[in-house]
Amino acid sequence: MVVCYSGIHLQSLNRPLFMVTIFLFVIIPFAASLSFNFNSFGPNDSNITYERAYPANGVIQLTPNQHSIGRATYSKPMQLWDNASRNLTDFTTHFSFVINSQNKTSYGDGMVFFLAPVGSKIPNNSTRGGNLGLTTDSSRLNSTDNPFVAVEFDIYQNHWDPEHDHVGININSMQSVTNVTWSSSILDGKKNDAWISYDSSSTNLSVVFTGFRGNTSVQQNLHYLIDLREHLPEQVTFGFSAATGSLSARHSIHSWNFSSSLQIIENITNPTDPGLVMPPSPNPDPNPAKNKAGLVVGLAVGGCVLVGVLGLVLFAFWKKKKRQEDEDQDLDFDVSMDNEFERGTGPKKFSYNELARAANNFVEEEKLGQGGFGGVYRGFLEESNSYVAVKRVSRGSQQGIKEYASEVKIISRL
């Protein structure tokens, strides 16, 4: 019986452990989301990958002079969408930047924030400023070999551009699919801010950016509906690119934060909350650091809850095992005593009715006291013509059969 019980107990114990283990794997997602915040940039920061650009004095210098091209991208790729579920990420980014012509009235060419396939580099045969470091000289209006989606801050008018400095959204071409005239301040080199967000539910790419009218800062915006799955692979590299030609300006990034939402849970992906990432408000104040802290706190709390649940499961099965072991021991003692009664080697056995008659049906007047096992009553056995003490087991007894058997054995040896 003991062996059979042990086998059943182990199986019942292993099953909940197995279920809890599965539960742990199911509810903890493989986090494909990204979140970071850079208030300055240094030469020892491995999170930024530089291509001809470089950090200097706490900023990223993309183009220091004429005929220069520079890129700065985040070192890890972004999970833009998931092929298994077709789910698409939301993302939002904010960066501050300066384009400074250093008081020159003629300047070029501009900079972009871009998404491109992982491994994308400045293309070979990209020598002209109008390419902005994204296309070759011969594929500026049809860059299928170097696909990208970009938001451009263009300060030079090529033949495909509108008349004035402008901000546009570009897809595999330096000619924008939509644009708006930018109230820029290139001569003064004033700092600008831009907020770019993508809503996967509406496929809306939204851009809010600052400009200047005189000395007054103003906000401008544009947007475009685009399904990024149709233009880019699942994982993309992202960051900044700038270029100059015979005319130049210094293009620099002063701060950058970013947050994306796509998470993969055992081949099932969902944006964490598409409603959380909205097109920037007139007074945006993005803070991805808080999102990251929230994610860390959430995972920590979830882990503690899981550990607590696992602990309760183990404790419950330990209690069950111990209770069953105690019952088995009590049963062994009971069988042992029955054997002694049958052999006549142990104490004499009386029926309940005999003891009840002897103790006058256990009336309170016959009660002598209360022990740990139950009440003790005075009784008289006519068969032996002697007075006896009868202990009656109570339902609320704190002792078990094992303690009772030991007590009876000890008394019988006196």
- Checking if the pLDDT of 60 tops 90, the result is yes
Q: What is the pLDDT of residue 71?
A: 97
Considering only residues 326 and 331, tell me which one the structure prediction assigns the higher pLDDT.
Answer: 326
Considering only residues 313 and 4, tell me which one the structure prediction assigns the higher pLDDT.
Answer: 313
Buried b (16+ CB within 10 A) or exposed e, 212-243: beeeeeebeebbbebebbeebebbbbbbbbbb
Q: What is the pLDDT of residue 24?
A: 45
Q: What is the pLDDT of residue 93?
A: 98
- What domains are there in the chain, each with its CATH number? 35-260 (2.60.120.200), 348-413 (3.30.200.20)
Confidence of residue 7 (pLDDT cuts 50, 70, 90): very low
- Checking if the pLDDT of 231 tops 60, the result is yes
- Checking if the pLDDT of 121 tops 90, the result is yes
Confidence of residue 372 (pLDDT cuts 50, 70, 90): low
φ, ψ of residue 391 to 5 degrees: the values are -95, 125
* Distance of alpha carbon 285 from alpha carbon 308, whole angstroms: 38
Buried b (16+ CB within 10 A) or exposed e, 175-194: bbeebbebbbbbeebbebbb
* Residue 121 counted as an annotated binding residue: no
Q: What is the pLDDT of residue 388?
A: 83
> Are residues 200 and 87 in contact, defined by beta-carbon separation less than 8 angstroms?
yes
Buried b (16+ CB within 10 A) or exposed e, 374-392: bbbbebebeeeeeeeebbb
Q: What's the whole-number mean pLDDT along residues 55-80?
A: 95
Q: What is the pLDDT of residue 349?
A: 76
**Overall residue count recorded for the chain in this entry:** 414
- Checking if the pLDDT of 16 tops 90, the result is no
Q: What is the pLDDT of residue 9?
A: 42
Among the residue ranges 201-205, 246-250, 270-274, the one predicted with the least confidence is 270-274
Buried b (16+ CB within 10 A) or exposed e, 298-313: eeeeeeeeeeeebeee
% of residues, the chain, pLDDT over 70: 73
Q: What is the pLDDT of residue 305?
A: 78
Helix (H, G, I), strand (E, B) or coil at 100: strand
Host H or E run for residue 17:
helix 2-27
| Nearest to 59, CA basis, from 284, 240, 291, 196 | 240
Q: What is the pLDDT of residue 150?
A: 98
> Are residues 242 and 112 in contact, defined by beta-carbon separation less than 8 angstroms?
yes
- Checking if the pLDDT of 374 tops 50, the result is yes
Confidence of residue 282 (pLDDT cuts 50, 70, 90): very low
Q: What is the pLDDT of residues 252-266, one digit of tens each?
A: 999 999 999 987 654
Q: What is the pLDDT of residues 125-177, one digit of tens each?
A: 999 999 999 999 999 999 999 999 999 999 999 999 999 999 999 999 999 99
Cβ contacts of 198 within 8 Å, gap of 6 or more: 89, 90, 91, 92, 204, 205, 206, 228, 277
Q: What is the pLDDT of residue 117?
A: 98
- Checking if the pLDDT of 267 tops 50, the result is no
Q: What's the whole-number mean pLDDT along residues 376-403?
A: 74
Q: What is the pLDDT of residue 79?
A: 96
End-to-end CA distance of the chain: 34
Q: Degrees (nearest 5) of the Cα angle 146, 239, 198?
A: 90
Among the residue ranges 34-38, 47-51, 79-83, 325-329, the one predicted with the least confidence is 325-329
Return mean pLDDT, the chain.
81
Q: Give the pTM.
A: 0.60
